[in-house]
Structure 1
């Protein structure tokens, strides 16, 4: 019996490896649409001096969680309320893990996050998909250009995350219910080993571009293009990198985009930055960024004309100075994109830190009412919400750019 199981496992692994070599550009018909640029109104601040003492943090709070563990949050804003999703259970990958949902009323001062309710269980997904699902993973949530809220979630039937699949849902208008759409078919053999982590890039026509990664062997980033009805039109490998996961893609303007990746390589912790044009039809060469990544989730966010990066930097965070060595996920920080061609980032400030053995990781973010709302894993026990003042961030970036220019002029 053991020999049979080993042979079966070998065959599954061989099929998955074969799939990793198949190009994801088999296109029946393509529709490239301009990127949807969210018109987030940012009211200019009245003061001219940025605060350098982390006062750009407007609020911080912990979401309630009755489970032993919580991880991988996602956040969206709709109708004056924030909705956060995350998975929680006894531990990551346990059979009892569920996708939970919590709300925050942004119209009410001192509003608190609602008690999380189970939105999706493995049993529910098994029934909806017609495929046995033993555990749930990352949820992502986002709004398209027509104000519809979409949900994608990772599910596993066999083995670990490397054999996962991605499932598609959409929300009712009041965000109270989810409606199952389909399992994404991302390759012809087995359809294994795909994960999603970051929100999709909305298109003007109501469609969107979903960034995801292939997790077996080479581990490489891809995109899937969806039409205005939520139908997947094509998948596309956007570079030839290996050991690059969980791509984060944002629009720089209606035609151009930028992408950044999580590195999954213990021997090479370099990070890579990439840009696109022609509505993601053309992808430029990879640039090696100045950032390091030790296998931690990252997120790009567009703030007006600026691009910021939310990332773990515990091993290099300047607040530690010459202190004892820290774990990389012990600090979560904000950087701005100084060079949009070469992918060079500059440290702005630290959002949060954790004690030894803890972590502040897996950021998700949304812009709403002059605030950058960020949710993230807090010590694997719950989800933490931090709201940053967008004006304070932009003012600090402007001040840092001026200082940099003065230093350049002074050096001539």
Structure 2
């Protein structure tokens, strides 16, 4: 009798817990629906100096590993930030590093590529979870997935995933801003702006991964995703000062995450997404009115093993996508090119391994007349590659 009663109580508690979780997920979904209104029409811009004529092929300019902080055996999820011509560096890279993913000592690391020496600087940690927690007023267990953006005043902003109890699915997005607009990398530091206000449930279960889309007004659109129970992509709008202005859901599907945004025309964009369904492809959504409304369109024919992709448009008819192209592993990383966003022939093999090798979570940007890529290499370091075109490729130091 006691055993039967105990089993009944545990079943009841389990049922109540499951119902509670479902109710929370439903309420978060309803809240997102309430918050996801139509944002103002936005027009995107091409990267500065990136209008390369169609038909020009890529030329490898350099490759290697970005320096790691000393005695740091693990690294993941890099982000690349193109810097203006007045800056001493061409590109800045951010990633999270520590003993392993989710370890207590994980911090956000950074390095920059000096255009005079053509070398990466020694890496240094720029964001610590304890400092972030102290500024927020509550504890942070993990940090990850830094995404960088340069505002209209030349300050670097970082958007990072921060978790408490519940792991990655219960994460929040913390917005940080450079303390001053100086260009001394040794003094680069960040202060917390706030946790992005994305849902009533303590802003839980939104994560960031890929680079923002630059807008003509100096603002940007930051692609993020929701990940509690169901997964769907969202576009966040920011002005040139980094002020959050609203959000719109990108897709009605419930198994998509980590969107990357590509510009076809000023007000016509694509979102290419990681798909957790058994399809094994890259999912697609499209807007034709500058992000005010989105609609689902057929997936790409590219194979993808439920893994993050990174895209960039460098001009009309020149779209690039870094992606894992093996159905069942992340040991093959390729760069494909498209003129229309639908057909994606291979442009460059980036990293091909075998077995348990992993080359994943790519990032892509344009700087100094070059296409730059970074990616996780074996979860131990961040690798990079740089490509130019025949008209701009040179082994000499580029002029600025």
- TM-score, normalized by the shorter chain, greater than 0.5: yes
CA 1:216/1:332 → structure 2, altered by over 3 Å: closer, same or farther?
same
Q: CA deviation at 1:254?
A: 1.9
Q: Secondary structure at the match of 2:117?
A: coil
Tell me the SS of whatever aligns to 2:197: coil
**Separation in 2, partners of 1:96, 1:13:** 33
1:405 counterpart residue number: none
Deviations 1:195-252 (A, max 9, x none): 1101111222222211100011220011111223322221111221121100001222
Aligned mate of 1:123, from 124, 130, 138: 130
Asked if structure 2 preserves the Cα contact closer than 8 Å seen for 1:273 and 1:288, the reply is yes
How far residue 12 of structure 1 moved from its aligned partner, in angstroms, is 5.6
Give the Cα–Cα distance (whole angstroms) in 1 for the partners of residues 340 and 176 of structure 2: 37
Q: Separation in 1 of the partners of 2:51 and 2:116?
A: 17
Report SS of the residue matched to 1:127.
Answer: helix
Matched residues in 1 for 2:331 and 2:356: separation?
8
Q: TM-score, normalised by structure 1?
A: 0.82
Instruction: Give the match for residue 5 of structure 2.
Output: none
Distance 2:233 2:167 in 1: 19
SS in 2 for 1:217: coil
Structure 2: distance between partners of 1:128 and 1:139: 18
- 1:408 maps to which residue? none
Q: Report what 2:47 is aligned to.
A: 38
Deviations 1:21-44 (A, max 9, x none): 444453689433322333225677
Native 8 Å contact 2:152 2:241 kept in 1: no
Bigger CA drift: 227-236 or 12-21?
Answer: 12-21
- Report the alpha carbon displacement of residue 10 of structure 1 after superposing the two structures with TM: 7.1
Is 1:249 matched up with 2:261? yes
SS of 1:85 mapped into structure 2:
strand
Question: Structure 1 stretches of 5 or more lacking a match?
Answer: 316-326, 395-412
Q: Which residue of 1 aligns with 2:209?
A: 197
1:49 Cα shift? 8.6
User: d(CA) in 2 for partners of 1:252 and 1:205?
Assistant: 18
Inter-partner Cα distance in structure 1 for 2:31 and 2:168: 20
Conservation of the 8 A alpha-carbon contact between 2:331 and 2:355:
yes
Equivalent position of 1:389 in the other structure: 388
Q: Distance in 2 between matches of 1:272 and 1:389?
A: 28
Pairs within 5 Å for 1:186-225 = 186-225=198-237
Equivalent-residue separation in structure 2 for 1:393 and 1:311 (angstroms): 25
Provide the residue aligned with 2:294 in structure 1: 283
Do residues 166 (structure 1) and 159 (structure 2) align? no
Counterparts of 1:63 and 1:14 in 2: how far apart (Å)?
45
Residue 68 (structure 1) aligns with: 73
Match of 1:367 in 2: 366
Give the Cα–Cα distance (whole angstroms) in 2 for the partners of residues 393 and 248 of structure 1: 27
Extract unaligned runs of 5+ from structure 2.
Answer: 1-9, 394-400
SS in structure 1 of the partner of residue 311 of structure 2:
strand
SS in 1 for 2:169: helix
